[in-house]
Amino acid sequence: MICPNCGNEGGDGKFCVSCGGPLTQMTPQPDFQQQQQQDQFQQQNQFQQNQFQQQGYQQGYQQGYQQQGYQQQNFQQSPQFQQTGGQPSIYFDGEGMEYLPILLVNGLLIMITCGFAYPWVVCRNLRWRKSHTIVNGHRLAFTGTPGDLIGNWIKWWLLTVVTCGIYHYWVNIRIHEWEMAHTCFEDDYHGDGMEFADCFYDGEVGERLGQELVAGLMITFSCGIATPWAVVKLLKYDMEHTVIHGMRLGFNGTGAGYWGENAIVGLLTGITCGIYSAWGICRINKWTYRNTFIQSSGNVKMQY
């Protein structure tokens, strides 16, 4: 005990051995060694907690960094996707060097047969274009054959002649319907001639005729200046009425963008005396599909 009067130890009796003061007025002596041990223990405990927290932060940071690097690596290894409106896009990977011999052969077929080989040319173009189109990570394939198309083509041509050209507006719809019915994912391809119910075109003659009339007026009253905007208008309508395996497409290209691409293609084609035309067609296809996206998927109703 410590005496409150003299500050010395008072002993264990009733009175202080130094000044004789009563022990009842004394205060207990604090255990400095025990207090010092407690302080050291608290400091050590606090230091360990700080270390654990720092290690946890570092581990969490490393795990997050590794996870982010893993995601980036997977993204780089995955197919080339562009985000448009939050949906996976479509892209085209055809090249002019590959398309050039196809274009030359198609031209020779049309010239030699005086146009009767048109169904073969259409099928060759569609087969090549579909095989270089990727939708939601799946490469497309085309199952149509010239034999199937030529029967429809003769029928459509006769109806156009009989109706004095009026059936021409139905021909555009029928071609799109036939094309999409013979379009599938490459994984689902099992032979030529197959048709797929979940790949279709549901545009209607009346609606598309209205689009064509508006596009014609735009071209006429602008003396041809508005042609790119008219073409994009029709392209937007066709894309929005195209469904591939339950995924309805959309299009957000602009007339200015289409005009710019065609200006470059026209300039380079003229400079190269027409040789660049194969690369130009690929360039337009890439621009078209770069501005095409999947606007809805799942329960898409088929319309006939």
Confidence of residue 195 (pLDDT cuts 50, 70, 90): confident
Cα–Cα dist 259/226, whole Å: 9
Contact assessment for residue 260 and residue 290, using Cβ atoms and an 8 Å cutoff: no
3-state helix, strand, coil in the chain (%, to 5): 60, 15, 30
Handedness of CA 162, 167, 171, 173 (dihedral sign): negative
41 to 52, 53, 66, 89, 230: CA distances (angstroms): 16, 18, 37, 62, 82
Taking all residues of the chain, what is their mean pLDDT, rounded to a whole number?
80
pLDDT of residue 11: 57
- Each residue of 208-223: pLDDT tens digit? 999 999 999 999 999 9
pLDDT of residue 12: 59
Please determine, for residue 97, whether its predicted confidence score (pLDDT) is greater than 90. Answer: yes
Residue with the larger pLDDT of the pair 194 and 120: 120
Question: CB count, 10 Å around CB of 138?
Answer: 17
The stretch 67-83 carries a mean pLDDT of 40
Please determine, for residue 129, whether its predicted confidence score (pLDDT) is greater than 80. Answer: yes
Please determine, for residue 69, whether its predicted confidence score (pLDDT) is greater than 60. Answer: no
Q: What would you report as the CA-atom Rg of the chain, rounded to the nearest whole angstrom?
A: 40
Domain coordinates in residue numbering, the chain: 1-51, 90-296
Indicate the DSSP class of residue 24.
Answer: G
pLDDT of residue 39: 64
Strand, helix or coil at 154?
A: helix
Please determine, for residue 165, whether its predicted confidence score (pLDDT) is greater than 70. Answer: yes
